[in-house]
């Protein structure tokens, strides 16, 4: 049996590890991660603060997202024009996004412009002004985004699926809110949200590229070392999740569309769960490996029903999801769902072969150099190690974790999570 070739020592050593990642904790709690790459003339700065949508009150759903996007609209030091003039004039970028637990930032610049980028990041995180006129402009953009979302069959199928698998849980709520809740949110709501959710506790920042790690830490220390926010609230606890008791189907009608999107699946596991790696390998076999695994083979290659059909294992801080997505002609929805359900049943009944597992194991290990090629890839890896407490030696030990998984372990996790009789099926289309 071919278990895949061992990773060449030289490649293993080129992966981020404790000897080339620097990790420092500032007195106010900020974690600074850094890894130098002087082959590159640029630096990526990314990270997060614990200001995610779990804080959103339901009538103002989307508040965390609105606030994060509002940060760049002006500060006590710089107005909107100045922020973007400084960034764009040097070809730098900076943007924000949110998840349930955190608000994330991501920026990039040439080496010489790092102090400028960091200065702006500090300014917008610590003293955003949320100017009234900019908040209104942003609101119109957000509302347009929601109008576009309402017309997007893939977005609406996914949103409906989350409502089903995460019923009565905050993960069921869309981070970008609803038109009514975005309209109900005021400029002062953004300022209040910033006061209570933004602060150094739980903040992680990673700098990767043409910067010496000592310099990186000093830069963060100089800018953020004296940041404190006694009013910073703890992230709300997650309530327990009640999984579906039987298979349920929900349809969203979007008239005039040529194609329907569907999502079939279950709630899943957290990234920190020991089952994550076997589940992830199982997912690869089910709907990722090569041209989208078994699902792609059955739905696309053999039946010609869809241009895309694949499975995804989403895993974060809390419960995740294990879902299969496809875009099909409206006349073929039932046929595609039937094929997908048959594959799920086969997967949980018969498991995977030695050969299939060996293929996916080899893929997981072989693709590491490509996924860690760029500064952004490494920065993402550093943040994952921190967020999910994987340890700084995670990528060096990763091949061992992958090789340790057996077909039985894959079958066991599949049976535990992919309950073929308790599926959520969401369809959005004409």
Partner 1 sequence: MIRTTLPNGLLVLLKEIHTAPLISSWVWYRVGSRDEAPGLSGISHWVEHMQFKGTPRFPAEVLDKAIARVGGVWNAFTYLDWTTYFETMPADKIDLALQLEADRMVNSIFDPQEVFSERTVIISEREGSENQPLFLLGEAIQKTAFRAHPYQHEVIGNLADLQSISREDLYNHYRSYYVPNNAVLAVAGDFETAVMFEAISAAFAPIQAGEMPPRIDIEEPPPVGEQSLTVEGPGETCYIQIAYRAPTAAETDFDHLTAVDSLLAGPSNLNMFSAGLSNKTSRLYQALVEKELAVAIHGSLGTTIDPYLYTFTITVHPSRKPEEVLAAFDDEVSRLHETTASPAEIERAIKQAQALFAYGSENITNQAFWLGHAEMFASYTWFENYLARLSELTPAGLRTTAQTYLQPQNRVVGVYQPTGEGS
Looking at 54-201, list the stretches that DSSP marks H as alpha helix, in order from N- to C-terminal side.
63-70, 80-89, 114-126, 132-150, 153-165, 179-184, 187-197
Residue 205, SS3 per DSSP: strand
In the window 263-282, what residues touch partner 1 (CB under 8 A)? none
In the window 292-331, what residues touch partner 1 (CB under 8 A)? 300-308, 327-329
In the window 141-170, what residues touch partner 1 (CB under 8 A)? 141, 143-144, 147-148, 150-153
Nearer Cβ to partner 1, position 308 or 388? 308
Which of 246, 208, 201 is closest to 228 using CA atoms?
201
In the window 95-124, what residues touch partner 1 (CB under 8 A)? 95, 108-110
Q: How far is residue 55 CA from its own chain's centroid?
A: 18
Minimum distance, C-beta of residue 288 to partner 1, in the bound complex (Å): 9
| Sign for the pseudo-dihedral over CA of 302, 303, 304, 310 | negative
Contact characters 183-222, partner 1, x per CB under 8 A: ----------------------------------------
CA distances (Å), 273 to each of 83, 199, 279, 328, in order?
41, 28, 10, 34
Stretches 51-59, 87-95, 181-189, 237-245: which one binds partner 1 (CB under 8 A)? 87-95
Minimum distance, C-beta of residue 132 to partner 1, in the bound complex (Å): 13
What secondary structure letter does DSSP report for 163? H
Minimum distance, C-beta of residue 130 to partner 1, in the bound complex (Å): 17
Minimum distance, C-beta of residue 310 to partner 1, in the bound complex (Å): 13
Answer for the pair 55, 202: CB distance below 8 angstroms, yes or no: no
Retrieve residue 37's tokens. 């790459």
Nearer Cβ to partner 1, position 25 or 148? 148
In the window 359-398, what residues touch partner 1 (CB under 8 A)? 359, 362-370, 373-376
Answer for the pair 351, 407: CB distance below 8 angstroms, yes or no: yes
Q: Based on the shown chain and the rule CB under 8 A, indicate whether residue 140 belongs to the binding site for partner 1.
A: yes
Q: Based on the shown chain and the rule CB under 8 A, indicate whether residue 344 belongs to the binding site for partner 1.
A: no
How far, in Å, CA of 64 to CA of 49, rounded?
A: 11
Nearer Cβ to partner 1, position 8 or 404? 8
Minimum distance, C-beta of residue 356 to partner 1, in the bound complex (Å): 10
Q: Based on the shown chain and the rule CB under 8 A, indicate whether residue 10 belongs to the binding site for partner 1.
A: yes
Binding residues with partner 1: total (CB under 8 A) = 72
- Exactly one of 22, 26, 34, 42 binds partner 1 (CB under 8 A); which one? 42
Cβ neighbour number for residue 226 with a 10 Å cutoff: 12
Stretches 50-58, 160-168, 252-260, 389-397: which one binds partner 1 (CB under 8 A)? 252-260
- Exactly one of 251, 257, 341, 415 binds partner 1 (CB under 8 A); which one? 257
Residues 6 or more apart in contact with residue 133 via CB below 8 angstroms: none
- Exactly one of 17, 20, 24, 40 binds partner 1 (CB under 8 A); which one? 40
CA distances (Å), 274 to each of 182, 277, 388, 402, in order?
38, 7, 12, 12
Stretches 139-147, 197-205, 211-219, 382-390: which one binds partner 1 (CB under 8 A)? 139-147
Residue 250, SS3 per DSSP: strand
How far, in Å, CA of 251 to CA of 425, rounded?
A: 8
How far, in Å, CA of 299 to CA of 307, rounded?
A: 9
Minimum distance, C-beta of residue 86 to partner 1, in the bound complex (Å): 9
Q: Which DSSP helix (H) or strand (E) runs through 33?
A: strand 31-36
Phi-psi group of 202: left, alpha or beta (phi > 0 → left; psi -120 to 50 → alpha; rest → beta)? left
Minimum distance, C-beta of residue 300 to partner 1, in the bound complex (Å): 6
Q: Based on the shown chain and the rule CB under 8 A, indicate whether residue 6 belongs to the binding site for partner 1.
A: no
- Exactly one of 91, 236, 239, 274 binds partner 1 (CB under 8 A); which one? 91
Nearer Cβ to partner 1, position 38 or 350? 38
Q: What is the dihedral of CA 423, 309, 388, 404, to 10 degrees?
A: 90
Q: Based on the shown chain and the rule CB under 8 A, indicate whether residue 41 belongs to the binding site for partner 1.
A: yes
Minimum distance, C-beta of residue 305 to partner 1, in the bound complex (Å): 7
């Amino acid at each position: 049996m071919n278990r895949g070739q061992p990773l060449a020592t030289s490649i293993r050593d080129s992966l981020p590890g404790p000897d080339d990642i620097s990790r420092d904790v500032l007195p106010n709690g900020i974690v600074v991660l850094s890894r130098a790459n002087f082959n590159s003339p640029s630096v990526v700065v990314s990270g997060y603060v614990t200001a995610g949508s779990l804080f959103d009150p339901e009538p103002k759903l989307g508040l965390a997202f609105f606030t994060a996007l509002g940060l760049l609209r002006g500060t006590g030091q710089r107005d909107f024009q100045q922020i973007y003039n400084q960034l764009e004039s040097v070809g730098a970028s900076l943007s924000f996004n949110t998840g349930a637990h955190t608000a994330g930032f991501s920026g990039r610049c040439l080496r010489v412009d790092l102090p400028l980028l960091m200065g702006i990041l500090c300014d917008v995180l610590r003293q955003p002004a949320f100017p009234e006129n900019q908040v209104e402009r942003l609101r119109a953009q957000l509302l347009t985004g929601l109008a576009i979302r309402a017309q997007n069959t893939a977005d609406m199928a996914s949103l409906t699926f989350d409502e089903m698998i995460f019923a009565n849980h905050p993960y069921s709520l869309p981070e970008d809110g609803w038109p009514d809740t975005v309209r109900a949110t005021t400029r002062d709501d953004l300022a209040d949200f910033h006061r209570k959710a933004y602060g150094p506790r739980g903040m992680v920042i990673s700098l990767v590229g043409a910067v010496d790690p000592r310099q990186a830490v000093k830069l963060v220390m100089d800018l953020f070392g004296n940041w404190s926010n006694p009013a910073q609230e703890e992230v709300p606890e997650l309530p327990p999740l009640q999984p579906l008791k039987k298979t349920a189907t929900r349809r969203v009608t979007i008239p005039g569309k040529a194609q329907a999107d569907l999502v079939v699946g279950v709630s899943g596991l957290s990234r920190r769960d020991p089952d994550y790696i076997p589940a992830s390998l199982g997912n690869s076999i089910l709907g990722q490996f090569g041209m989208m695994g078994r699902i792609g083979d059955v739905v696309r290659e053999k039946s010609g029903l869809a241009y895309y059909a694949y499975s995804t294992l989403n895993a974060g801080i809390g419960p995740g999801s294990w879902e299969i997505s496809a875009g099909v002609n409206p006349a073929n929805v039932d046929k595609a769902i039937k094929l997908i359900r048959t594959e799920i049943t086969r997967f949980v009944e018969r498991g995977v072969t030695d050969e299939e597992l060996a293929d996916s194991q080899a893929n997981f290990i072989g693709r590491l150099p490509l996924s860690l090629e760029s500064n952004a890839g490494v920065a993402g890896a550093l943040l994952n190690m921190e967020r999910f407490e994987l340890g700084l030696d995670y990528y060096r030990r990763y091949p061992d974790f992958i090789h340790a998984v057996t077909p039985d372990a894959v079958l066991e996790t599949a049976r535990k999570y992919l309950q073929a009789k308790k599926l959520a099926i969401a369809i959005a289309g004409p």
